[in-house]
Amino acid sequence: MVGSALDALHARGLTGETKILADSRIGLVVKAGTVHPDISSDAALRKTLLAAPSVAFSDSASGVYVSHTLFDRLGIARQMASKARQIQETPVAEIVARGDAALGLQQISEIIPVAGASLVGPIPEDLQKITHFSAALCRDSPNPEGGKALIHYLSSAQNADEIRATGLDPVQTRAWGPIHD
């Protein structure tokens, strides 16, 4: 679950300590077969977004960041207002794959599995909004040792390649504790 949501459950006394399992970054998606635009720097991403006829972004935390922070940080909020739209319920990559938007911004893990969509790559690191995906044991778990073993397994180095294949970044070094996204 998203780390901040687990923090809220922990604050209510419903879970024990949490452990970050993976980090999720925002990426740019285009329709498969389309030339990949340059997003290698802040200036390149800005130019790419301004040149696009339409841009879609999700209704999740990453989309809120895109519309309320990223566009402002790039100095293009006014220009994007008429051509960028938030997508409700449908993965942004599906919208782009159908041709209903030229570009899309969403978490990479949600772009990768969509047929007809092509991940350009992550947006520049200094513009990223990293979302932590975490695990925690419920306070009244009937098998806390089994739960802790599962979480240990999911966060182990042996699963790093599988985690990367889903578009997430494995995080084996983080200790148990509050997340604070």
Domains and CATH numbers, the chain: 3-23+135-170 (no CATH), 26-127 (3.40.190.10)
Q: How confident is the model at residue 180 (pLDDT cuts 50, 70, 90)?
A: very low
- CA gap 110, 91 in Å, rounded: 7
| β-bridge partners, 29 | 104, 119
Higher pLDDT, 124 or 19: 124
pLDDT at 175 over 70: no
Is 0.75 surpassed by the pTM of this model? yes
If you search the block for the tokens 């980090």, which residue do you land on?
A: 23
pLDDT at residue 179 tops 50: no
Q: Would you put residue 99 in left (φ > 0), alpha (ψ -120 to 50) or beta?
A: left
pLDDT over 70, % of the chain: 94
